[in-house]
Structure 1
């Protein structure tokens, strides 16, 4: 065996195919010179990344070269690592009218090379096109996405990058709408009429069950003459309390009222109006007293008795006629 050496050869099927050659596959010598018999390992240089190779070996002695071995399994010339796997499904938080925060978990496998950054893509639900959010990779697993369109709905996905390149995109996030982190308040309860007079009516109401996530800063009050279809704003002033007196009304006119709560998001829906109410004094004329009885008769006088009116309105005196 001292006089034995080995020759290593390689085959590049892909190379022939790319050149579209019709000749049979050609084996090429993988080294220069001869290899001593004690060498059982060889680093084959000069391969082309992305090409697939096979190898076979033959031994040589004084009698000449023996038969080649069976070819090795085909192997692709590539770096000793792959692109990362997909990151976890993105989560979305801190939603505002034009911004959202997107966060995710790293992929389970970095492909054998450390992750150098992430790319985030967004998609408006009215479109099928994914748009890259960041042109340069971010190292953190969170990104504040800006310049969104208010009231538009979005999905997000994330890809990781390493030395081998950019890996597959994650599962898309759920759908989220770009809007302020609060809504308009709910509807207040139907107002109560608490006082009626010739030219003013007082009302009170309960706040809505929900303030929409933002404190109520004002109440809008509107009135409507029952002969009209137009609601008119009662005051331009800020109303914080849940009661208000509407003044400068017309005696004898019948009105309806409604109330809406306001917060940072704007005015909420108006309440249902109470029963229409007519402007008039807070009392009516008394009802008729009971039928008089003549209890005593004389030549020049009679004594009359009667019962008071059934209504409880206060009155000062009676008028008696005969």
Structure 2
């Protein structure tokens, strides 16, 4: 806590200020608190017999930040009370503060207490001048004490003491901390050769494990010939991706390759291939990858389009050659288009002559591989060479024929035999998909004359033409007399018999019901319905139906007196049968509210 200010002596004991004195000059700005180790300048004390003059209020300046090793002083930063004189706003004296000038009265200075001395051992806060400047301004606004009122017209600041105070230096702003240093990335990872040929090498790698806050701008790819250290960058701009093709190299050169990551911090350590790379295409033995469906015979019909793709492998690019039956291909009929990976055999419209064994050969240096495929172009076969009737007996005819001379460039899968009656001339198929070269035609009609013809069949279908037998087969009549067999007529007579009997039923007054049963017998029995042993007859209340042995009796809206024993009686010439059931007619349930 700051010490109490010393009381101010009354101005009446001193001589009043002369009116002839000039107006005092404005007081200089309050100096900032001295730095550590320097003496704080004493504040100008008013002359004896004069009231303390309040300096004109000034706008407080922005506080200057304290030095790093200075601790703020509570006593210097505390505002001065409005009812205290301006002298109270002076900084509290420290142990290093010198004595006040002789002009100031001893009793006008504030005594330095032990608390003040302890508080001022630390360097004064730089905000103290501003607080001291504000204190006089506040003191001018507050009403003056009775003792200081007569001296209000004769304010005179101590110009001498203010002039003797040295001008303070303007504090410099603190230097901002330096930005964190920018560091390059770590070394790129996993550099290896992906592919190469006679003029280029393709490399790939992985990005560095540590990139840092500066990020990654790209990569520089550098090469030099084996045995030298003349590294040169092959990319003008930074490479963004982790794959690069080093082009326009000389075949046979051995190159050392390395990759450097670049960012704002500079170049990273390089990653280098462990061995020099020979600029030459990788020699890989050629191999024909014949598709599975071409490993067997490939069959197509005449006129079909042939487009077969056969892939292969090998480095450098293999030389592809084709032959047909051991002879060069006819380029007018067959087109061959080869790429780095496959070869295509193309025929626009196939013909029978295109059939044969095609052989594909791929060769790299002294290595080669071959693959063969059989191409078979088929069409419909010709008709059988000959057809003849070998024998005729009863209702049967025996035929024989010979295979066709033209099988359509594929095997014959069967024959189709047809017959025609000479009277009508219409052909009917007797046998189809028949594999033998002879057949027996049966179930012919006596007295008719027949002609026969045979078609050939292969996987393309049935031949367009057929071979007709030159002979005709006539089925002659014989002396056979047809005698129909004698059959004993079966006796179907049967007395009536109920297959389903009547069941007891229960119904409600006003709700129609139906009684059902079934009966059989031959001849058809007559059905009669009875109620309590009395024949119902044509009573319109009852409806009687008997269809296909199913007998039904419908009782329409039965009343209280329609209950009883109902019977159904069936009778024919061979006997009779009766079935009965009991019908109960109940009263409808009545709610309690309806009863009331």
The answer to whether TM tops 0.5 is: no
More helix by share: 2
TM-score, with structure 2 as normaliser: 0.22
Larger radius of gyration: 2
